[in-house]
Structure 1
Amino acid sequence: MLLSASSTFSQEWIRSAQEGDNMYDVAAEFNQFWEGKTPGKGQGFKQFARWKNFWEPRLYPSGDWSSIDQQAFMEAIRNSDEAQRDGGNWSELGLDEWQSSSYAPGNGRVNCVAIDPNNPNLYYVGTPAGGIWKGTGNGDWTPISEQLPTMGVSGIVVTDAEPSTIYIGTGDSDGFDTYSVGVLKSTNEGQSWETTGLTFTLSQSVRTNRLMAKPGDFETLFCATSSGLYKTTDGGLVWESVLNGNIRDLEFKPGNPEVMYASSNRLYISTDGGENWDSVSDIMPSPAVTERVAIAVTEAEPDYIYLLYADNSFNAFEGLYRSTDGGDSWVLRSDSPNILSSDEDGNSSSGQAWYDMEVAVSPTNAQRVLVGGVNVWESNNGGSSWNLNADWTWPNGGGIGYVHADLHHIEFMNGMLVIGSDGGLFVSTNEGDTYSDLSEGLGISQFYRISVYDGDSDLLMAGAQDNGTNRLNNGTWTHVLGGDGMQTLIHPTDPDIMFASFQYGGINKSTNGGEDWDWSASGINEDGAWTTPYMFSPANPDV
């Protein structure tokens, strides 16, 4: 039995972007929505702007996704022998670690995380455009999809076989930086990859949202995508569609994998291993006003189900609902403060749930709930009240932990709380009391621009998406400005003079080698391009 999950979006551009409408039509809807409004932190404005900045030169002049060369992409996967590549003599400089003199430092975006069932110290992380990496979190990260074309990964399953078989769900689920070509499989721990029976063309603009194996059965997998939920029982050879719609989340009932929960802008329940699904209609609010629903379950109370709702008008917190009887009845636990906003007090009315919204419950305490949006919030009474657990600014001065903004993965795994955010991989061994950043060695920064000092090639600056402006000096990286880093410049004869910028031409100047910065765009009353170009005069570098 197939069910269809549909939705009406107040922010129509989100639906259009998710469904792969013409890029210029999506941009027109976006501009119409934002006309007369002032965007702020945590509202999703910049995420769309960078999506447009990335895709516009690739889809020009038509804006049509069918112009992407799918055949060339698939040929590259089929011919992914390492020996066939001639990469030249390159060495990585980073950014793979940071010291910070500013706010919101990080290495790069992490979409999803998995742990090797044969080695609890071995992590796998999927990124929006940098493939899949593995490592122990001690600076020893290694990319295992270098032989593939640039791709996003939003779902990972690692089996208990020796050597491990790895499945990845391709594409960038939340940011649309890359679209899915389906599920890929490696039977040699990532040395080579092959397609499975689930493939998409890039022009379909499908996104993989979740990839899970049935507990105790690695031959049975489920792939939740923007075009529906798919199931295989033979390790990926054949897949069947079992649920239509943009399926954003998926969970198994602890102790009974025949019972499953899936969500789009509503909840679905299956009691026969995912073959048939029923829509749960007695939970308010209505799907017509809901952007997204996230699911959490716990081994501590297998009949408990938590649902995190966000509205489709402001992409803000709509409510946390809980069932204690396996979904037969539901209770609203809270609908304030706005735990999906960027504010430390949750007083803002907006959020960006279409981009970052996750929920997890402690496996030992069914009352401890953690929610990730821009920040991390915690509840110790089943979601009735909330406290800020970790803040997106560093150092935050509030006596709480630092986790880089915009969470895409939050899950209790092997006794740890594991988070993937726009700044990397963060892990807590005490259920969120403190956090460690395990991103050192992850070379996943997405740089917009790089500048090198003419007098010393060991001095450079680079502007990174979500991870600010970073200076490399004699082998040491320092995060010198937060936000999004764009165009940078170093004076050709005086390395103490540096320029760095934010999106749309917000330029800053340093006269002491990047230690301190002052606004340098006074008198400029118009916005520039997303990555605004600027340069020194060749005749006079002081101009």
Structure 2
Amino acid sequence: MFLPSLMFSQSSAEQIFNENFDADYLTICNALEGYFKLKHPGLNAQELSSGEHRDGEFVKYKRWQSFWKSRLTPEGKLGDISEFNRKKISDTSKDFNLLEDAEWTNLSYTTDLGVQIGLGRTTSLAFHPTDPNIFYVGAAIGGVWKTINGGSSYEPLGDELPYLAVSSLVLDQSNPEIIYAAISDNVWYGPPSIGVYKSIDGGGSWNNTSLEFQFSDNTRIYWMTAKPDNQNIIFVGTSDGLYKTSDGFETVELIAEGVVSDIKFKPGSSEEVYFVGNTSSFFKSSDGGITFEQSTNQVPGSGRRRLIISELNPELIYVSANNMLFKSTDSGANFDGGTNISSAEVGNGIVLISPADEEKLIVGNFNVWASEDGGESFDMISDWLPGDLPLIHVDQRNAFINPLLNDRVYLCNDGGVYSVNVNTNEFTNLSNGLQITQYYDIAISQSDVSVVSGGSQDNGNVYSQNGQWFPSANTGDGMTQAIDPNDENLRYWSYQNGSINRTFNGDVQNISNNIPSDETDNAEWQTPFILDPNDPETLIAGYQEIFRSSNNGDSWEQISDNLPFVSALDLLAVAPSNSERIYAVENYGVSTGDMFGFGQSSSRLFVKSITDNEWEQQLISVTETVEDITVNPN
């Protein structure tokens, strides 16, 4: 397999991903696997998903890989997940509503379950011009939501959008019935953009605008902002450049090339506007965005840059860039040499100036920190586990100020929406009612249909019984689920990279610990395990080898030996007619395990003999990953 020599000089997984985006899924995966192998020699998937790497590039890559493996074209490339709904909207001559009469009821939980079991990842907020209790929420994979009571409850507005990735929102401050939504994720491992959609009836319906992208463009929208004195003039910062409309997106023009990660107007001005990207340059316009000039001052650093401004002091600007904070007190004419804020573990996370005190900064990434002295020192004001500090969800994505309220800031994170009182550092969870959880897997009890379990992205494992939801595990990415068909109180669930757990009447045991640890080091991100359909006390789990337990996971035996070309298995199945007939699939050879190497271009099917532990292998020549195995019951 060809490994690009550029890997040695490339500095990030995002860069490698973008340079390989036009290739097929397998090539992208191999390029990224090679990057991690070279950058972190000797580390396995568990080590790259914990400790200092707990929310690093590898975890983001595995989330990307898991999302896209079932969304490929017949040629093995990333599919356009908006295509069907875009056709449904544009072609009114056909009936696309095949399930129009189906009634759907939400079964998932709608309230925060505590610790790190929130509702899901949010990206953006937009506030009503006169009512502080009305605001709109954009979700990473969840659409647009509206609250009229300050976040106590929400209604969905974006279900008719082509797909539900929203990275930025603009609410027309002169006519709040007009809403603009950037259909995009704002992270490299999320879906790219198809452009900006517009509603003129408060979110009741949506239409595409002149700012359109093809999915294959791999463009992402990071930020949108409207000109204060003319809400038809909107600037859009993207990975492709800076776009501008002067007529509410009837038309649009590209006015600057390159990555534009943030753009903001100087407080109190409709003429002075700034933007930054992923270079050390700072750009400023004094004519409302007609022309921009590059500052002679540099704001060095790496990663996504953010602009931080304050209504309290319009001359004050901060630029944040990967643990560095650069300050200007003259509207960007000059910047200082920068302050290292790595003590607050900010990285490329949020930085915001308090609306009550220009010396107070609220910053964060994993946790939230506050500075009372303009960034010279920081104190942690939230924690991700129960303790003395307020507990909120991790991974702060964006921060906002409601112009009508000067005592709080709002945070968008992987659990939902929070507000922080800037005078007391008290947090309020405003997430309840957002139905935006991203599930990897669910299971439904066959003995009690009220029992459902699920594992989701960054919101752990949960289960319901008689309509009430409870956490099975309080953190991490929840993965594969199973429920004993004869006893709804016996449930199995897993974390990423092969940690399989059993819950029986409230007692939780990590049953993968009963397999020798060196045997489970090589595990798929979503490690397969199944219950034998003929005997639910029997479990089969797939790592680099295959293991079977006949006592609900208390002990295991290895039933394969040195399966060829396998690093970490993807799928398992047991024949309902014979428990000894077991099937296993390794897709492509792209795995998490030990970054085993390259060269395999087909999936492999392994079939166990019914008389012994010998396995026969067969190549499956497909360009897409194999997503499921179903065995004829006869």
Common fold: TM-score over 0.5: yes
Give the secondary structure class of the aligned counterpart of 1:536: strand
Contact 2:14–2:188, Cα closer than 8 Å, also in 1: no
Give the secondary structure class of the aligned counterpart of 1:111: strand
Q: CA deviation at 1:31?
A: 1.8
Q: Which of 504, 512, 517 is residue 520 of structure 1 equivalent to?
A: 512
Q: Which of 380, 402, 406 is residue 395 of structure 2 equivalent to?
A: 406
1:328 alignment partner in structure 2: 333
Task: Output the CA distance in 2 between the equivalents of 1:455 and 1:54.
Answer: 31
Distance of aligned partners of 1:364 and 1:70 in 2 relative to their CA distance in 1, 3 Å threshold: closer
Question: Is 1:206 aligned to residue 197 of structure 2?
Answer: no
Question: Is 1:291 aligned to residue 306 of structure 2?
Answer: no
TM, length-normalised to structure 1: 0.87
The percent identity for this pair of structures is: 29
Contact 1:389–1:432, Cα closer than 8 Å, also in 2: no
Q: CA deviation at 1:141?
A: 1.4
Task: Output the CA distance in 2 between the equivalents of 1:80 and 1:452.
Answer: 37
| 1:34-433 map, 5 Å | 34-35=36-37, 36=41, 37=43, 38-39=47-48, 40-59=53-72, 62-65=75-78, 68=80, 72-78=84-90, 85=97, 86=100, 88-100=102-114, 103-135=115-147, 136-161=149-174, 164-265=177-278, 266=280, 267-285=282-300, 290-310=302-322, 317=323, 319-332=324-337, 334-340=339-345, 353=348, 357-391=349-383, 393-395=384-386, 397=387, 399-413=388-402, 414-415=404-405, 416-430=408-422, 433=425
Distance of aligned partners of 1:441 and 1:87 in 2 relative to their CA distance in 1, 3 Å threshold: farther
Task: Output the CA distance in 2 between the equivalents of 1:438 and 1:459.
Answer: 27
Contact 1:417–1:431, Cα closer than 8 Å, also in 2: no
Give the secondary structure class of the aligned counterpart of 2:294: strand
Q: What one-letter code is carried by the residue in structure 2 that aligns with 1:423?
A: G
Q: CA deviation at 1:139?
A: 4.6
Aligned length: 505
Q: CA deviation at 1:17?
A: 2.7
Distance of aligned partners of 1:537 and 1:109 in 2 relative to their CA distance in 1, 3 Å threshold: same
2:593 alignment partner in structure 1: none
Q: CA deviation at 1:332?
A: 3.8
Task: Output the CA distance in 2 between the equivalents of 1:196 and 1:299.
Answer: 32
Task: Output the CA distance in 1 between the equivalents of 2:314 and 2:80.
Answer: 45
Distance of aligned partners of 1:410 and 1:71 in 2 relative to their CA distance in 1, 3 Å threshold: closer
Q: Unmatched 5+ residue regions in structure 2?
A: 1-7, 539-634
Give the secondary structure class of the aligned counterpart of 1:27: helix
> Which range moved further: 49-58 or 233-242?
49-58
Contact 1:303–1:324, Cα closer than 8 Å, also in 2: yes
Deviations 1:257-294 (A, max 9, x none): 21111111232222221222223342253xxx522211
Question: Is 1:459 aligned to residue 451 of structure 2?
Answer: yes
Give the secondary structure class of the aligned counterpart of 1:26: helix
Q: Which of 520, 526, 538 is residue 531 of structure 1 equivalent to?
A: 526
Task: Output the CA distance in 1 between the equivalents of 2:176 and 2:379.
Answer: 43
Q: What one-letter code is carried by the residue in structure 2 that aligns with 1:211?
A: M
Deviations 1:338-361 (A, max 9, x none): 4336xxxxxxxxx5x3xxx22111
Distance of aligned partners of 1:80 and 1:195 in 2 relative to their CA distance in 1, 3 Å threshold: farther
Task: Output the CA distance in 2 between the equivalents of 1:141 and 1:70.
Answer: 25
TM, length-normalised to structure 2: 0.75
Contact 1:258–1:273, Cα closer than 8 Å, also in 2: yes
> Which range moved further: 481-490 or 328-337?
328-337
1:441 alignment partner in structure 2: 433
Deviations 1:47-76 (A, max 9, x none): 1111112123323564545x5377544323
Distance of aligned partners of 1:10 and 1:109 in 2 relative to their CA distance in 1, 3 Å threshold: same
| 1:494-509 map, 5 Å | 494-509=487-502
Task: Output the CA distance in 2 between the equivalents of 1:366 and 1:531.
Answer: 46
Which structure has more RCO (C-alpha within 8 Å, separation ≥ 6)? 1
Task: Output the CA distance in 1 between the equivalents of 2:341 and 2:168.
Answer: 31
Contact 2:219–2:240, Cα closer than 8 Å, also in 1: yes
Contact 1:449–1:464, Cα closer than 8 Å, also in 2: yes
Give the secondary structure class of the aligned counterpart of 2:270: strand
Task: Output the CA distance in 2 between the equivalents of 1:105 and 1:70.
Answer: 29
Deviations 1:67-105 (A, max 9, x none): 537754432333699x974050111122211334xx412
Task: Output the CA distance in 1 between the equivalents of 2:414 and 2:293.
Answer: 34
Q: What one-letter code is carried by the residue in structure 2 that aligns with 1:496?
A: N
Give the secondary structure class of the aligned counterpart of 1:258: coil
Distance of aligned partners of 1:176 and 1:42 in 2 relative to their CA distance in 1, 3 Å threshold: closer
1:487 alignment partner in structure 2: 480
Q: What one-letter code is carried by the residue in structure 1 that aligns with 2:14?
A: I
Q: What one-letter code is carried by the residue in structure 2 that aligns with 1:301?
A: N
Give the secondary structure class of the aligned counterpart of 1:510: strand
Question: Is 1:27 aligned to residue 29 of structure 2?
Answer: yes
Task: Output the CA distance in 2 between the equivalents of 1:375 and 1:142.
Answer: 28
Q: CA deviation at 1:370?
A: 1.4
Task: Output the CA distance in 2 between the equivalents of 1:79 and 1:340.
Answer: 49
Task: Output the CA distance in 2 between the equivalents of 1:281 and 1:492.
Answer: 68
Give the secondary structure class of the aligned counterpart of 2:320: strand
Q: What one-letter code is carried by the residue in structure 1 that aligns with 2:31?
A: E
Give the secondary structure class of the aligned counterpart of 1:262: strand
Q: What one-letter code is carried by the residue in structure 1 that aligns with 2:13?
A: W
Task: Output the CA distance in 2 between the equivalents of 1:403 and 1:69.
Answer: 32
